A and B are shown apart, each in its own frame.
Chain A
Amino acid sequence: MAEYKGILVCGELTDGKLASITTELLGCGRKLADDLKEDLSCLLASDAVGVASREAIAFGSDKVYAVEHSALKEYQADSYMQVAGKLVKEISPRVILIGQTSVGRDMAPRLACILGTSLTTDCLNLSIDSGTKLLMQTRPVYGGNAQAVFTSELMPQVVTVRTKAMSPLERDDSRKGEVIPTKINIDTSKVRTKILETVKEEEAGIKLEDAPVIVCGGRGIGGPQPFQAILKELADLLHGAVGASRPPADNGWVPEGLHIGLTGKIVAPDIYIAIAISGASQHTAGCSGSKHIIAINKDPEANIFREAAFGVVGKYEEVVPAFTSKLKELLAG
């Protein structure tokens, strides 16, 4: 039987550079590897991974398995799985860390199944049990109304990690590591899906993930118009972005790209203004990392007031315009 050793991060790239989730996974993986006194490696598979490979070392990796192939330019499960499956069988890692992203959500369950092991998705917390050396995997369940700790004796232990749940290390370009160019043949005849078109639906202005201030509306907003007026006016004043909980996105009041929550975007701005949002756990899962949450809701019992630092109880149609106009006056003065 193979000996399972070390931590493997399955990395992702954004425009040729290391994606932020991958720096977070390396930060977390470094700690786990140090606790186990084992190595941290990173798999990078795309059409060109040179720049990202050096970044992975600067962010804490000891080894980078660099796989370059034109078929890996855009993620497709059937090609990517050939690479990940083969590498994992070769290097037998003890732990595999994958991002809870669009790619990771699609890849991790398949990989675990191919390897005959278990998987815990969307982890918020990972640690090594000092006695058993097993990975303690903590994740929210029931929409965030509880948390569960899982372990598995099957190797490798595979998890996906929520974005923004872990901190990256400081980038250190003097850090030493080894980039291992790895050749893996991809049988493209086994790729059963074809991407016909990729369409961007980006909103004008600041991206939600980068906005220091987010003004977010919920079901209680009642329709599409206030998102473009009352909420947008406040967001513009604060150089922020407008977001929404799931019901406005489901109802088509806003594009899906504005959806913040468990199955939407995870954001962590300095200021999060939640307007007419009840604060279901499925929503707060996407914004609980915010530095300061401010809630405006007509229901004094709304769960969002448990998350917020400041709140106003009242109809948003009356509260928000007065808030915006007073703020405008104060910011001008």
Chain B
Amino acid sequence: MPVNMIVCCKQVPDPEAPPAVFKVVNNKIALPPDIKPVIGQYEEFALEAALKIKDTVGGKITVLSLGNNFVRDVIKKALAVGADELVLLEDKAFEDGDSWATANALAMAIKKIGAYDIIFCGRQSSDWDAGQVGLGIAEILGIPAVTLARKVGVTDGKARVERVIPDGYQVVEVTLPALITITSGLGALRYPTLKGIMAAGKKQPVIWKPADIGLEPSQVGVAGRRSKLDKLFQPVKEAKCEIIKGETPAEAGANLAVRLREAKLL
């Protein structure tokens, strides 16, 4: 049975960028222009989870993303690796929402997309790390959700999920339609093929504004927030690392042992 899947992806500043480049300006994170956006790491895993199901039982993958000023090459990577459709909720009004505003808009868009068996999300975004949007969507749509999955299979209208728990995992069965959030352990997102890149280049994303999903601008983005961001700051850290030297790395290693004994740490 082919499976209808929706994968929610977020475009974020590269989370692997060195910590020193992150600056707070006017209560917002400011990054130098050479730090490129990427699809969040857990959303990439979520996309891979959907692709694995498409490989085995067939199906359709619609990628859904919310934001403003999408970099087309970045978000279209989803199409290049094998997603079928790309829907972008793209408008200035969608900017600076909180988890609630984002979950609500995505849920409204999913209702408009219509048929689905599984909605995949990453366990948390790679910028704000809140980990709420997936579960929010499931509650709004009234469907079951399984979080922190590292393996997903589908048989007989049910999904069988390996859910990571401390020191192990659970095998959870859930009725469909359901929402599943993906964590590490599933395997990296596959590379796009040349054919995939060519096909993605020709495909145009569907763009929806708030009105297209039945929401007023006052219900989305910063206006739709439930929590208020009072302050963004960077705690000051005093670096005071004592570097232990030696003629060779091995000697430095031995000297480190001596120094730590001296300091009575070991």
Contacts and interface: CB of A to CB of B under 8 A. Distances in A.
Chains A and B belong together in one complex? yes
B57 interface: no
A189 interface: no
Interface string B208-236: 00000000000000000111111111110
B183 to A, nearest CB: 7
Given A77-B145, A193-B144, A256-B150, A323 B184 contact: no
A121 B132 contact: yes
A235 B208 CA distance: 55
A292 B266 CA distance: 11
Interface string A248-262: 011000001101001
Interface stretch (B78-86, B195-203, B238-246): B238-246
Contacts of A296: 253, 256
Contact of A327 (B15, B130, B165, B257): B257
A148 B168 CA distance: 32
Interface stretch (A24-32, A171-179, A195-203, A220-228): A195-203
A199 B168 contact: yes
Contacts of A146: 22, 24, 29, 232-234
A307 B239 CA distance: 7
Contact of B254 (A114, A197, A300, A326): A326
B240 A121 contact: no
Interface in B14-46: 15-16, 18-20, 22, 24, 29
Nearest to A250: B184
Contacts of A325: 254
A153 B225 CA distance: 11
A309 B244 CA distance: 11
A319 B252 contact: yes
A127 interface: no
B266 A238 contact: yes
Contacts of A262: 129
Interface stretch (B3-11, B61-69, B135-143): B135-143
B108 interface: no
B103 to A, nearest CB: 8
Interface string A316-330: 001111111111001
Interface residues of B, number: 88
Interface in B101-133: 103, 123-124, 126-132
B242 A309 contact: yes
Contacts of A323: 253-254, 256-257
A176 to B, nearest CB: 33
Contacts of B129: 121-122, 140-143, 262
Given A150-B228, A259-B184, A199 B254 contact: no
A318 B248 contact: yes
Interface string B67-81: 000000000000000
A119 interface: yes
Nearest to A330: B261
Given A262-B129, A305-B239, A327-B257, A136 B230 contact: yes
A109 interface: yes
A82 interface: no
Interface string A265-305: 10000110000000111100000000010111000100101
A106 B260 CA distance: 42
A314 B247 CA distance: 11
Contacts of B100: 113, 118
Contacts of A295: 241
Interface in A65-123: 77-78, 101-102, 105-106, 108-110, 112-114, 117-122
Given A109-B99, A143-B15, A314 B249 contact: yes
A320 B132 contact: no
Given A257-B168, A306-B237, A141 B230 contact: no
A310 B147 contact: no
A312 interface: yes
B172 interface: yes
A263 interface: yes
Contact of A118 (B98, B138, B259): B98
B167 A202 contact: yes
A262 B251 CA distance: 34
Given A145-B22, A311-B243, A326 B257 contact: yes
Interface string B153-183: 0000000100011111111111100100001
B235 A312 contact: no
Contacts of A312: 243-244, 246, 249, 252-253, 255-256
A147 interface: yes
B173 to A, nearest CB: 5
B99 A322 contact: no
Contacts of B185: 249-250, 256
A310 B244 contact: yes
Interface in A174-229: 192-202, 207, 213
18 contacts: A106-B147, A113-B135, A145-B22, A150-B230, A154-B226, A196-B172, A198-B169, A202-B167, A213-B266, A246-B184, A296-B256, A306-B237, A310-B259, A314-B252, A321-B250, A323-B253, A326-B258, A331-B266
The 3 residue pairs across chains A and B that have the minimum distance between CB atoms: A314-B249, A322-B253, A118-B226
Given A192-B144, A197-B170, A318-B250, 17 more contacts: A102-B164, A113-B100, A113-B103, A142-B29, A143-B127, A146-B232, A147-B234, A151-B228, A152-B227, A194-B173, A250-B185, A263-B184, A306-B239, A311-B242, A320-B253, A326-B257, A326-B258
